[in-house]
A = this chain, B = another copy of it.
Amino acid sequence: MRIALLGCGTVGGGVLRICRERVPELEVCRILTLPGELEDPLVTHDVADILDDPSIECVVEAMGGIEPAHGFLVRALEAKKSVVTANKAVVAAHFAEFMELAARHDVAFKIEATSGGGVPWIAGIEKARRVDDVTELSGILNGTSNYLIDSMERSGKTFGEALAEAKELGYAEADPSADIDGVDVQNKAIISATVAFGSLCRRDIPVLGIRHLTKPILDALEARGWSVRLLMRARQDGGCYAACVEPVVLSRASEEAHVPTNFNLATLVGQTVGELKFFGQGAGALPTGNAIVQDLLDVAAGEKPRYATAETLEWDPALLGAAYLFATNAPAPEGARLLASAEGSGTGKALSLVFGLDPVRAGELARAAAEADPETFVASFSDEAAASLESLL
């Protein structure tokens, strides 16, 4: 199959290397880059050289960002080229349009590399849906934030030290906001929920991040048998769905609490298969390149678009109801119960519990608290961790 790459940075470079070294039936024929980015006889700086070339059957997009990626992919689909993309931002923003165009022009549109890097997560959801309704999703889909938490837990580093180390190792960007504020996971959650529930997920799902998670807060959690991870969560039931991104307090006996360094771990629940978890490298040139090459092999085998949004589920955040932890020096939310005072908690902040919130309401309360204490940290409790709450109060 004749392929063109749009973008040849880390991920595009991984695709190029894997195709050339391992999968000769995938022939990279043209590479769109910015001037000065790459020396290769296949390079062009004019996307028309690719979109107007009828011999190119499939376009791999690894540019990132919304535009011009969105415009290029629309034109590629309209030119009846299959599309494989690693770009979570553009897919989360324009999923419906891409699916509609791919179906209309009878070409493939594949997105494995948008969510979970080398982890066969999107394919795992799709496969589960052949037999089951997928009723629940959750997962660690951001390696940077996991690296920070793991590093604080295992090596006793502060958040700042862990972040400096992650930047040195290339696990965090100079501006880590998208990773630590949950925006990166938000896009992956929207994509995963759309594929899993067969219904277009809204774009403004609630998000809480780990920017104000501190080593003392982690220590206070550990002393109670808990850990915390930044998770995507989603659920459907009775014609409704919800999805969110938030730090979740977990039992230290859970699999999630032991995900090391920058690995990902994502879970689906199906009615007959039960709970399935997928673990692997969520980023990096070769793992993410591998995910794209796997998509390309499916396209080369004649696979047509499979993502369906036949369902129209209603948004109901109550499906993700939980107890929430507030670590803040702001006045506690109404109905909060004190777990430990600012003096007694060892964290410099009072730790309070609020039962019976959903992610939307929790976000409102978190923002209200952040007005008085900008370093407020808020997390939900997993069912397993919540089981131990009553005995602590």
Which A residues are within 8 Å of any B CB, using their own CB? Answer: 14, 18, 22-23, 118-120, 123-124, 127, 130-132, 154, 253-255, 257-260, 263, 265, 270-281, 284, 286-287, 289-290, 293-294, 297
Contact A127/B294 with A258-B255, A277-B278, A279-B276 known, Cβ cut-off 8 Å: yes
Most buried by B among A119, A281, A289, A290: A290
Assembled-state Cα–Cα distance A96/B124 (Å): 29
Which of B154, B257, B280 sits near A275, CB closer than 8 Å?
A: B280
The smallest C-beta distance from A316 to any residue of chain B, in angstroms, reads: 25
Which of B119, B263, B294 sits near A130, CB closer than 8 Å?
A: B294
Tell me how many chains of this kind the complex includes: 2
A254 contacts which chain B residues (CB < 8 A)?
A: 258
Assembled-state Cα–Cα distance A276/B287 (Å): 10
Assembled-state Cα–Cα distance A296/B14 (Å): 34
A272 pairs with B258, CB closer than 8 A: no
B286 pairs with A273, CB closer than 8 A: yes
Assembled-state Cα–Cα distance A154/B252 (Å): 12
The smallest C-beta distance from A158 to any residue of chain B, in angstroms, reads: 21
Question: Could you give 21 example pairs across A and B, Cβ below 8 Å?
Answer: A18-B131, A18-B272, A22-B131, A22-B132, A22-B272, A118-B276, A120-B124, A120-B127, A127-B294, A130-B297, A132-B290, A253-B258, A254-B258, A255-B258, A255-B279, A272-B287, A273-B287, A275-B281, A276-B278, A277-B279, A278-B278
Assembled-state Cα–Cα distance A278/B123 (Å): 13
Assembled-state Cα–Cα distance A265/B131 (Å): 22
Chain B's closest residue to A280 (CB) is B276
Which of B119, B255, B286, B293 sits near A276, CB closer than 8 Å?
A: B119
Assembled-state Cα–Cα distance A209/B364 (Å): 54
A284 contacts which chain B residues (CB < 8 A)?
A: 274
Chain B's closest residue to A289 (CB) is B272
A260 contacts which chain B residues (CB < 8 A)?
A: 253
A23 pairs with B277, CB closer than 8 A: no
Assembled-state Cα–Cα distance A260/B251 (Å): 12
Chain B's closest residue to A252 (CB) is B258
Known: A255-B258, A272-B287, A279-B279. 12 other contacts (CB 8 A): A120-B276, A127-B294, A130-B294, A131-B293, A154-B253, A253-B260, A273-B280, A273-B281, A273-B287, A274-B281, A275-B279, A278-B278
A258 contacts which chain B residues (CB < 8 A)?
A: 253-255, 257-258
B259 pairs with A287, CB closer than 8 A: no
A154 contacts which chain B residues (CB < 8 A)?
A: 253
Assembled-state Cα–Cα distance A280/B124 (Å): 12
A294 contacts which chain B residues (CB < 8 A)?
A: 127, 130-131
A274 pairs with B287, CB closer than 8 A: yes
A279 contacts which chain B residues (CB < 8 A)?
A: 255, 275-279
A278 contacts which chain B residues (CB < 8 A)?
A: 276-279
4 closest Cβ pairs, A-B complex: A277-B279, A272-B286, A276-B280, A273-B290
A270 contacts which chain B residues (CB < 8 A)?
A: 290
Assembled-state Cα–Cα distance A119/B119 (Å): 14
